[in-house]
């Protein structure tokens, strides 16, 4: 049977949340044997995400963990100051290790783990590429790091360096969207996780350096020559008119979920 792809997605409350989750879930509906692990950055599971997942038609697990206050970006902080979604991805890993430990059978250790932010754009082909991951597979990511794309550079079927605009000396200078890890490797290294204290740009490295070396990386997407995922970012919607109308008591009905 096809190895299951476990997709871990951190998400948080904001105006565009349901739109992002809709886009993402409707991509995932086209992927066979996918298990979506949605981790809300919140003290409680929200009704919006709970109802959304229930109606999604996907196989999913709904988790939540709030980002510690001192780790949360404050209004006005530059977006690169602190990594986002760290505790949530780690909670996804924790659940996965616990759940698999208690599942009987060989098959329960067969699978692939992918970290999918809720705002990126994913080609269906990407999931077919990652499904054969033995340890850690890698591929290009479009529109990231101030570049058209970042990518591992492959020579003779091996990753030999990285095409990146910034600090190529990082252990693994790759975006979160640019790799997948086999479930076996995740289970064999029970302490491997993301380090929220890692300096900017080192979050991906903090997980990967506990799991593989560069020469073990498995290049996908035609030896890393095809872009199948894009680090898109959604503009924050302007609420100028909404706020003006609210003053007159004519704001949009708060009972309508958006
Ligand atoms: N995220 C979160 N809590 C936050 C901010 C972001 O859980 O306070 C999630 C977000 O939904 C996304 C991931 O963390 O799935 C990465 O965040 P974002 O897309 O804002 O980061 P960037 O695009 O800058 O890498
Ligand atoms: Mn993003």
Q: What is the pLDDT of residues 153-188, one digit of tens each?
A: 999 999 999 999 999 999 999 999 999 999 999 999
* Beta strand ranges found along the chain (DSSP E): 4-11, 34-40, 59-64, 111-115, 121-122, 136-138, 141-144, 147-155, 158-163, 179-182, 218-219, 229-230
Q: Is the predicted pLDDT of residue 245 greater than 90, yes or no? A: yes
Considering every ligand atom shown, identify the ligand nearest to the alpha carbon of residue 83 and give its number.
1
- Give the residue among 42, 5, 38 at the shortest CA–CA distance from 21: 38
ipTM of the complex: 0.99
Sign of the torsion formed by the C-alpha atoms of 217, 225, 163 and 34: negative
CB within 6 Å of ligand 1 — which residues? 9-12, 41, 67, 72, 79, 84-85, 88, 117-119, 233
- Decide if 123 contacts 228 (C-beta within 8 A): yes
Q: Which ligand is nearest to the CA of 38?
A: 1
Please, are residues 229 and 126 in contact by the beta-carbon 8 Å criterion? Answer: yes
In the chain, the largest separation of any two C-alpha atoms, in whole Å, equals 67
**Which range scores top for mean pLDDT: 67-71, 164-168, 244-248?**
244-248
Q: How much is the pTM? A: 0.97
For ligand 1, what atom is nearest to the CA of residue 73?
A: 8
Mean pLDDT for the stretch of residues 105-121: 93
167 dihedral zone (left: phi>0; alpha: psi -120 to 50; beta): left
Cβ neighbours of residue 207 closer than 8 Å, sequence gap 6 or more:
181, 192, 193, 194, 195
Pocket test for ligand 1, best of 70, 117, 122 (most atoms within 8 A of CB): 117
The pLDDT of residue 79: 67
Where is 19: in which H helix or E strand?
helix 17-28
Query: What mean pLDDT is reported for the chain?
Result: 95
Ligand 1 center from residue 12 Cα (angstroms) = 8
- Is 204 known to be catalytic? yes
Q: Which of 91, 150, 204, 218 is catalytic?
A: 204
Tell how strand 34-40 and strand 4-11 pair up: parallel
Model confidence at 33, in pLDDT bands (50, 70, 90)?
A: very high
């Amino acid at each position: 049977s096809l190895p299951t792809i476990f997709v871990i997605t951190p998400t948080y409350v904001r105006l565009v949340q349901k739109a992002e989750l809709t886009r993402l879930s409707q991509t995932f509906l086209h992927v066979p044997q996918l298990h979506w692990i949605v981790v809300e950055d919140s003290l409680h599971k929200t009704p919006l995400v709970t109802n959304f997942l229930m109606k999604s038609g996907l196989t999913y697990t709904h988790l939540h963990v709030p980002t510690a206050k001192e780790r949360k970006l404050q209004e006005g902080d530059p977006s690169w100051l602190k990594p986002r979604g760290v505790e949530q991805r780690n909670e996804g890993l924790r659940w996965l290790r616990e759940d698999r430990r208690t599942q009987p059978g060989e098959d329960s250790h067969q699978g692939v783990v992918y970290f999918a932010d809720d705002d990126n754009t994913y080609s269906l082909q990407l999931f077919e590429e990652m499904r054969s991951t033995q340890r850690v597979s890698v591929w290009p990511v479009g529109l990231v790091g101030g570049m058209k794309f970042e990518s591992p550079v492959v020579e003779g079927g091996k990753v030999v360096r990285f095409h990146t605009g910034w600090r190529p000396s990082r252990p693994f200078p790759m975006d979160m969207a640019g790799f997948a890890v086999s479930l076996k490797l995740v289970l064999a290294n029970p302490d491997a996780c993301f380090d929220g204290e890692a300096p900017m740009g080192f979050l991906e490295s903090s997980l990967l350096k506990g799991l593989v070396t560069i020469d073990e990386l498995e290049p996908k997407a035609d030896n890393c020559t095809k872009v199948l995922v894009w680090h898109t970012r959604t503009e924050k919607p302007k609420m100028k008119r909404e706020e003006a109308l609210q003053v007159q008591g004519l704001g949009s009905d708060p009972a309508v979920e958006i």
